[in-house]
Amino acid sequence: MREYKVVVLGSGGVGKSALTVQFVTGTFIEKYDPTIEDFYRKEIEVDASPSVLEILDTAGTEQFASMRDLYIKNGQGFILVYSLVNQQSFQDIRPMRDQIIRVKRYEKVPVILVGNKVDLESEREVSSNEGRALAEEWGCPFMETSAKSKTMVDELFAEIVRQMNYAAQPDKDDPCCSACNIQ
Amino acid sequence: MGDVDNGSSLGLPVSRRSQSFENLSVESGGSLHERDDIQGHLRAEEVDNMLLRNDSGIESALSYAKAWSKYTKDVVAWVEKKLSLEVECAKNLAKMAETAKAVVGPQDYMPFQSIFLNAFQNDIENNQLWQQTAAALQSNKFVQPLLGRKNELDRQRKDIKELWQREQKKMQELEAALRKAKSLYTQRQDEYEKAKSCTARAEEEHLSSSGSFVKDFSKQLEKKRRLEEEALQKAEEANEHYKASIAEIEEKRNDMESFKSDVVMQLRELIFQCDLTLKAATVNLFQLQHAQVVSLPVNCQSLCESAKLYDPGQQYSEFVKSLPKEGVPIESGSFETHSSQVDGVFNKQSTNSVHTSHGNLSQCSGDFPSQMLDDVGSPIYHRSQRIGEKRSSSSTDIQAMRGPPPFRSWSVGNQSGGMCSDSESAGGSSESRSMDSPSASPGDFKRRLPRTPSTGTMSSADDLDEREPPSPSDCGLNDLTSETANSPGPFRNTSMSKAAQTHKLRKLRAPSKCRECDSLVVFHGAECEECSLACHKKCLETLAIQCGHKKLHGRLHLFGVEFAQAAKNVPDGIPFIIKKCTSEIESRALNVKGIYRVNGAKSRVEKLCQAFENGKDLVELSELYAHDISNVLKLYLRQLPEPLILFRLYNEFIGLAKESQSVNEELDAKQVSPKSKKRQSICIELNRIIIKIKDLLKQLPVPNYNTLQYLIGHLHRVTEQSDENKMSASNLGIIFGPTLIRPRQTDATVSLSSLVDYPYQARIVELLITYYEKIFDVSLQPLLSTSQSEEAAITVRVALSGEREPQQQRKSFVAVKEGILIAPSENRASETAVLFLESHNSKNTKEQVDTSATERASLPFGGKQEGSGKSSALTESTAASVLDIISAPKETGDAVSPASEKDNDSFVSPGEDGCKINLLPAKPNRQINKVPLRVPRTKLAIRPVSLPVDRILPPCVLNERNTKNAGAVSPENLGKSPTIEEVSEVKALSAVSTCCRLSCCDTQMLRKTWDKQYKQYDITARTAMIVTNVPQENRTLESGTAGALSSSCSMGNNSANASLHVKPYPLSVRSGRTAAEGSGPDAKPVATFRVSRTLQPPPGTFYKPPSNKSKQNEESSTTKACASTSASLELHQDNTVKLARSSVPLSGDPGQNTDEQKTSSEDAHPTDLKPTYQRLRPKRIQELEHREAHFV
C-alpha cells in the first residue's frame, strides 16, 4: 500500500484544518483555533487502489511561515487552500506555490488549488474564474470546496492522490526510459 | 531577352510604386488610398499577364522575391543596429543622469536644482522609453514580423522555384521526345520512299527481263513490295507517334501555361503579403520612433519654461530661511516687522512660499500672499484664504466657510483641507504651537503671523468671492502670478486620504523623498507647510501620515530595531506603534473575526510599516483594514531582534509552560472523575506556575514589562470578545507565542527545537492572557506599599472573615486562588490583594470590590475576601492569609516561620476548595464576602453558612489525600478525615472562613512549611497528580492543624460568633498540633499551622517574619494548604470536637474563617501569635530553603 504525504498549505483562517478534519473524521470543527501543526493519517481507496494518506495540516498564520520549508521538504503533494471569501488569502497562495517550486526544485510538483468555504457563496470575494485561471496557469487541478457542507472534500483528497500517482509515473519514465535507456 | 528583361523590370518598378503609394496613402488619407488600391489591383493583373507573356516571367518574379528578401534583411539589419545603438546611448545617458541625480539631488537650495533633476528624470524616463521601444521593435513591432515574413517568403519562393523547374524539365523532356518522334517519322518516311522506289525499279526490271527469270523476279518483286508495305507501315506508325507527341506537348504547354499563371499568382500574392507586413512594420517603426521622440521637445520646453520662472537668488533666500532656528525668535520678530514693508526678492520669496503652501487654495493663493505682505491683519487677506478654500472644492471646507464665526473660517484656511470642527481646533493649536515653539522656522512663523489677525476679520463669503479676481491683480509680483497661473490649484482636485486632509499642502518646492512611497518627488509633489512632509500628488490619496503641526522628524528605524532603543524614547517604555495599533484595534476591531489571526495584505502592510517609520505616531489608521494593523503589530514584535520576553528567560518560561501543560492534561483527565481532590491540587499547581511566571516577569526590564503588560492587557480585552472574534486566549497564544517568546536562534537547531517549543510558547502567552489580572496585578498596585499592604491584609482578613456574602463561588474561588498564588510570588501583598479584588470584582461582585477599593488596605483584602466569599468564607480568609503570607515572605525573605507555614496551609485549603469548586458541578451559591477592611472580625462569624457546600467537598478531598498520600498522617487525622468528608460535602463551604485566621497569624510560617512541603513534592514528582496530592496531604495535615485552630473557625463558619471563634482557635490549634505530631513529619507543619492560625490576628507579625526563600513555592503551597484547611474546617464544624483536630485539615475554609475571626480577635493577641510562629520557623526555614533551591 502506497503512502502519500500530503501537505495542506494556505494562509490563516482559510479552513485548512476544517478541510482536513472533515476528510479524516467526517466532522466539521466549529472551533477557530489556529493550528501549529497537526498530522493525520487515513486510508482511502483511490481508483481501486488502497492508499494511505499522511496529511500534514500546517500553520497558516505567518508567525510560522518559517516552518513552511520544512513542510514542503517532507511533502509529496500539496493542497493549496484559500478562502474564497477572502481575496487576500488568494493573493497569499502564489508565493506559497513559488516556495514549493523553489524548495522542490521541480516544476511539476503535485499541487491542487482549492477555494474553500464555497458554502458562503454570498460573501464570495474570489470568483471561480480567478481560481481556475490561476490553476490553469500552474497546470494544476482546481476545486471549490466546503468543509462545512462537505462539498468536494473527499474528491479533493482523491484527486491529490491521483496527482501524485500521475507525477510519479512520468517522473520515472522521463529520466529512466528516455534518458537512461537510450543512452 | 532584352524585351523580356524590360518587361520584368517594368513590372518591378510598378509594384514598388504601388507600395510606396500605399504607404503614402496610409499617411495621407482615404481617397488617395482607395485610388492606390484600384491601381494596385489593375496592376496586379497586368503584372501577371505581362509575366505570363514573358518566357522568363516566373524567373524574374522569383528573382524579385529573392531581391525582396535580401532587401528586407538589409533593412532589418539596419534597424537592429540602429536600435542597439540607441539603446546603448539611452542607457549611457540614463546612467549619467542617475549619477548626476545622485550627486545633485542632495544639494539643497541650489538654483534650478529641481529643473535639472527633472531633466535627469527625463533622461531616465527616456531611457526606459527607448528601451521599451527597442524591445517592441525587436519583438512584435518590426524585426520579428519582418524576419518571419522574409523566411516565409524564402521558403515559398524556393518551393515555387522547385516546382517550376520541375515543370520546365518535364516540358523539355516532352519536347525532346517530340523531336525524336519527328526524326523517326522522317526516317521511316525516307525508308518507305526508298522501299517504294526499289519496288518500282524491280517492277520495271521484271517487265523488261521476262523469260526464265520471271518467277525469280516475281518473287523479288513480291518481296520488295512487302518491304515497301512494311516501310509504309513503319512510317505511318512513326507518323502516329509523332502526332501523339505533338498533341502531348501541346497539352503540356497548356498545362505549363496555367501552371505558370498559378505560380505567378502565388508569387504575386506572396509579395503582396510581404509588402503588407513590411508596410505595417515600417509604420510601426516610424510611429514608435516618433512616439519616443515626441515627449522630448515637450519636456525640454517645460523645463525651459520652468527655468525661465526662476528668480535669481530665490533658492538662496530659501536656504537662508531654512537655516537652523536658534535665533528664530529674534529673527522672526524682525522679519515680521519687516514683512509688511519688505519688497523685492525677499517678499517674493515669502510670497512664493506662502503661495505654494496654499496649494489647496488654488489660484487664490497667489493673492493671499500679496495681501499678507500688504497688510497682515487685513480682512482681505483672510478672505482670500477663504476663497481659496472654497475653490479647493472640498465640501467640508465650504461648510466651514459658511459657518458664521470668523474664527472657523480662519481655522479652515489654516488647515486647508481639514474637516470642519476638528480641523479648527487642530489648526488653532498648530498655529499657537508654531508661534511659540522656537523650533518653528522663521518662514513658518512669518506665514502664520498674518493669518492670525485675519481670523478676526471675517466678512461674508460673497465678499470673498468678489475679492478673488482682484486679488491676483493685487499682487504686483509677476513671478507670483505666473506661478499661480502655472500651478493648477495644486491639490484641490486630488482625492485625499483622511490623513492627507490634515495637512496644509502646498506645491513642493524642492525635490525630496515622498513620505508615502519613499521614492523621489520632483514635480507634482505636495508639501505640508507645517510639518514639511513631502509626497507625490498621487500619493495624497493614500497618505497615512497626519500633520503633526511641527516639523516632521526624519525617517526613523522602527522595525527590527532593538526594543530598548524604541522604548527609551517613551517615558513608560511602550513603543508608540504598539499603543497606536492596539488602541485602533480596540476602538473598532475587537469584534472582527480572526483578528490577529488573519493576515493582512502584504503590500498594504508594508506600506503601513513604511508609514510608521516615516510618520511615527502621526499615522492615521482609521481608514485601514484591521487585519493590516494587527499584522503590522505582529510584524513589529516579530522583528524585534530580541523578543519582549528576553532570551535569557526563555528556558524558564518554557519549563513553566511544560509544567502547566501537564497540569492541564491532568485536569482534563480528572474532569471525568468526580473527585475533586486532584483537581484542587492541580489548581494549586497552576497557581504556583502563575506565581512563578509573575516572578519571572519581574526580571524583565521595566520597558519590557510595561509593554508586555500593555500588550497582554490588550489581548485580554480581545479575548473578552472571543464570542465574536473567535480569538480565545489559546488562539492568541498560538499566534503571539512565537512573536513574544522565542529562543535565541542558533542556526542548526532552529527548526526542530522551535517546532517542539511552539506549543509551549503558545501556552505561556495563553497563560499570560488568561491570568492577565493576576500576573500583572493590574489595578491595585498603586494603592498600597508593602508594609501598608501587610497591615491592610491583616485588616482585610478580619474584614473578610467578618463579611461574607454568597456570590459566584466558583469564580471567586478561582480568582482567590489565582490571586493567592500571584500574591506570594509578588512581593507586594497589596498587589496580590488588588489582584484578588479585581478578579473577584470582574467575575462576581463589583459592589464589594468598590467598597473594598474605597478602603485602601482593606480593599485588596476585601477583594480577596469577596472572592473567597464567593467561593466561601474560607476562601476569603485564605486570600487574606495568602496576602499576609506573601507580604511576609517577601519582606522576611529567608526566614521561614511557622506562621508562614500555617498560612500556606490555609492558602492551600482555599485553593483546593477553589479547585474543587471549579471542578464540582455544584456551585450554586455565590457568596460574596464584603470585606470592610477593619470591620472583618465581626463579620467573620457571618459567613459560614452560605459557604459550606462547596467547601465541604474540598475538605473531604483534602482529608482523603492526606490520609492516602501521607502515610505520616496521624490516625486521628485519618479517622477524622472520613467523617469530615461526609460532613464536608454538605457543609465544607462554611468552614472556609477559618483559613483566614491561619493566614493572618502564621502566614509566613505557613508559607515556609508549606513551601518546604510543596517544593519537595515538586521536586519529587512534577506530574501534577503527585505534586498535588502530596502538597494536599501536607496541606491537609497542616490544615488539620489549622483546623484545630480553626475549630473555632468552623464554629464561626457555622454562624459562630467572633468570641466563639476565639475560643475554638486555641483548641483547634492544639488539636492540630497534636494531629500533626501524630502524623509525623507532616504533623509538624500542621502544628505550626495551628499555632499560626491562633496567632494570625496581628498583621504586623506577618510582616515581621519576612524570610521566605521559597516564596513562590511556599505561596502556592500555602494557597493550596489554605484551601485544604478551609475544607477541613468545614468538616470540623460539622464534627464538632473531633472535627477540630481532623477538621483542621478538612476545613480549610473554616480555617480561613477562623483566621478571620482570629484576626478580629487577633488584634488583642497579635504579639502572642508572632512568637509562636517564630518558634516554628527555624525548623521549617531550613526545609524551605532546601525547597527553594530546588524550585529555583
Contact B575, B639 (CB under 8 A): no
Nearest C-alpha of chain A: how many angstroms from B631? 9
Closest by Cα among B1190, B797, B787 to B1002: B797
pLDDT, residue B1050, reads 39
List CB contacts (< 8 A) between B737 and chain A. 63
Cβ distance B600 to A67 less than 8 Å, yes or no, reads: no
* Nearest to A42, CA basis, from A26, A66, A30: A26
Contact B715, B773 (CB under 8 A): no
DSSP at B782: T
d(CA B729, CA A33): 10
User: A36, B758: Cβ pair inside 8 Å?
Assistant: yes
- For residue A173, being part of any structural domain is answered with no
Any domain includes A60: yes
Q: Taking CA B424 as the corner, what is the angle to CA B457 and CA B514, rounded to the nearest 5 degrees?
A: 115
Nearest to B1050 by CA among B971, B910, B1149: B1149
Q: Which residues on chain B place their C-beta less than 8 Å from a C-beta of chain A?
A: 593-594, 597-602, 627, 631, 634, 638, 726-728, 730-731, 734-739, 750-751, 754-755, 758-759, 762
For residue A69, list chain B residues with Cβ-Cβ distance below 8 A: 751
The pLDDT value recorded for residue A142 is 94
pLDDT averages per 10-residue partition of chain B, 1192 residues: 38 39 39 41 71 78 85 87 87 85 79 81 83 82 83 86 87 87 86 84 74 69 84 86 87 84 83 84 84 80 81 78 58 39 40 39 39 41 42 40 36 36 37 38 38 38 38 38 41 69 76 75 75 76 73 72 80 84 87 84 84 79 84 87 85 84 71 59 81 86 87 89 84 84 66 71 86 76 38 39 40 40 40 42 41 38 39 40 40 39 40 38 39 38 39 40 39 40 39 38 41 40 37 41 39 39 39 39 38 38 40 43 42 40 40 42 41 42 44 38
Residue A177 lies in a domain: no
Q: What share of chain B is helix, strand, coil (3-state, %, to 5)?
A: 80, 0, 20
Which residues have C-beta within 8 Å of that of residue B137, sequence separation ≥ 6? B79, B83, B143, B284, B285, B288
Please give, rounded to a whole number of angstroms, the shortest distance from the CA of B737 to a CA of chain A: 9
Q: Are B647 and B746 in contact (CB under 8 A)?
A: no
Contact partners, residue B1043, CB within 8 Å, separation at least 6: B994, B1049, B1050, B1068, B1071, B1072, B1090, B1125, B1128, B1129, B1131, B1132, B1139, B1140, B1141, B1142, B1143, B1144, B1145, B1146, B1147, B1148, B1150, B1151
Out of A36, A86, A91, name the one closest to residue B762 (CB).
A36
Among left, alpha and beta (phi > 0; psi -120 to 50; other), residue A38 is beta
In angstroms, the separation between the Cα of residue A96 and the nearest Cα of chain B is 13
**B761 → chain A, closest CA residue:** A36
Contacts of A82 in chain B (CB under 8 A): none
Q: How far is B639 from chain A (nearest CA, A)?
A: 11
Smallest Cα–Cα separation from B997: which of B1093, B932, B904?
Answer: B1093
- Average pLDDT value over all residues in chain B: 59
Phi then psi for residue B793, to 5 deg, are -55, -45
A vs B: CB pairs below 8 A: 70
Helix residue ranges, H only, B54-112: 57-104
Contacts of A66 in chain B (CB under 8 A): 750-751, 754
Contacts (Cβ under 8 Å, ≥6 apart) of B629? B581, B584, B585, B589, B600, B608, B621
Characterize the bridge pairing of strands B534-536 and B525-528: antiparallel
**Sign of the C-alpha dihedral computed for residues A159, A160, A161 and A165 taken in this order:** positive
- Are B990 and B944 spatial neighbours (Cβ–Cβ below 8 Å)? yes
Considering only CB atoms, B735 lies closest to which of A11, A61, A70, namely A61
Assess contact for B303 and B118: CB atoms under 8 A. yes
- Taking CA–CA distances from A37, the nearest residue in chain B reads B755
The residue behind cell 504607404 is: B23
pLDDT given for residue B42 in this prediction:
55
Among residues B81, B83, B72, B78, which one has the least CA distance to residue B19?
B72
Q: Are the beta carbons of A33 and B762 separated by less than 8 Å?
A: no
Residue B1138, C-alpha cell as written in the block? 473531633
Q: Which of B594, B751, B758 sits opposite A13 (nearest CB)?
A: B594
- Give the closest of A12, A35, A69 to B598, CB-based: A12
* pLDDT at res. A25: 92
Task: Select from A12, A60, A63 the Cβ nearest to the Cβ of B638.
Answer: A63
SS3 assignment, position B1054 = coil
Q: How confident is the model at residue B676, as a pLDDT?
A: 59
**Closest residue by Cα to residue B506 from B611, B374, B385:** B385
Gap from B837 CA to chain A (nearest CA, Å): 31
Q: Does residue A72 sit within a domain? A: yes
Interface test with B, best of A61, A93, A98, A99 (most B CBs within 10 A): A61
- Residue B1163 exposed, middle or buried by CB count within 10 Å (0-12, 13-18, 19+): middle
Which pLDDT score, from 0 to 100, does residue B553 have?
Answer: 66
Q: Give residue-wise pLDDT tens across range A110-159.
A: 999 999 999 999 989 999 999 999 999 999 999 999 999 998 999 999 99
With respect to residue A183, please indicate whether it lies within any of the assigned structural domains.
no
Q: How far is CA B407 from CA B362, B402, B773, in A?
A: 21, 11, 48
Sequence-ordered list of residues with C-beta below 8 angstroms from that of B692, at least 6 positions apart, any chain: B656, B825, B1112
Of A34, A66, A67, the CB nearest to B735: A34
Q: Chain B contacts of A11, Cβ < 8 Å?
A: 598-599
Residue B856 sits at φ, ψ, to 5 deg, of: -60, -80
Full residue range of the structural domain in which residue A107 is found: 1-166
In this structure, is residue A108 part of a structural domain?
yes
State ipTM: 0.78
For residues B1152 and B1129, what is the distance between their CA atoms, to the nearest angstrom?
Answer: 8
- State how far the Cα of B413 lies from the Cα of A129, in Å rounded to an integer: 50
Return d(Cα B612, Cα B634) in angstroms, integer.
Answer: 14
Q: Which of A11, A32, A69 is nearest residue B599 as measured by Cβ atoms? A: A11
**Can you give the pTM of this predicted structure?**
0.40
Distance CA B474, CA B384 (A): 11
- For residue A12, list chain B residues with Cβ-Cβ distance below 8 A: 594, 597-599
Residues whose CB falls within 8 Å of the CB of residue B1037, separated by 6 or more in sequence, listed in order: B905, B962, B966, B968, B969, B970, B973, B1075, B1076, B1079, B1082, B1083, B1085, B1086, B1145
Q: Write down the pLDDT at residue A53.
A: 92
What is the C-alpha separation between B720 and B770, in angstroms, rounded? 10
Sheet holding A142-144, edge to edge: A37-46, A49-58, A2-9, A77-83, A111-116, A142-144
Rg of chain A on CA atoms, in Å: 16
**At which residue does the C-alpha cell 516532352 appear?**
B174
**Cβ contact, residue pair B730, A32, below 8 Å:** no
Per the structure, how many domains does chain A have?
1
Return the SS3 of B306.
helix
- Domain membership flag for residue A95: yes
Which residues of chain A have a Cβ shorter than 8 Å from any chain B Cβ? 11-13, 32-37, 59-64, 66-67, 69-70, 86, 88-89, 91-92
Helix (H, G, I), strand (E, B) or coil at B893: strand
Q: What pLDDT does B1112 receive? A: 43
- Whether residue A182 lies inside any domain: the answer is no
- What is the rounded CA–CA span in Å between residue B503 and residue B481? 24
pLDDT of residue B494: 67
Q: Which of B534, B548, B527 is nearest to B426 (CA)?
A: B548
Classify residue A83 by burial, with Cβ atoms within 10 Å: 0-12, 13-18, 19+. buried
- What's the CATH number where A79 sits? 3.40.50.300
The C-alpha angle with vertex B900 and arms to B899 and B903, in degrees rounded to 5, equals: 90
Q: How far apart are CA B723 and CA B609, in angstroms?
A: 30
Contact B972, B896 (CB under 8 A): no
| Neighboring chain B residues of A13 at a CB cutoff of 8 Å | 594, 597-598
**Would you call A33 and B734 a contact, using CB atoms and an 8 Å cutoff?**
yes
Q: A119 in helix, strand or coil? A: coil
Element (H, E) at B1153: helix B1148-1162
Measured CA to CA, the distance from residue B290 to residue B283 in angstroms comes to 10
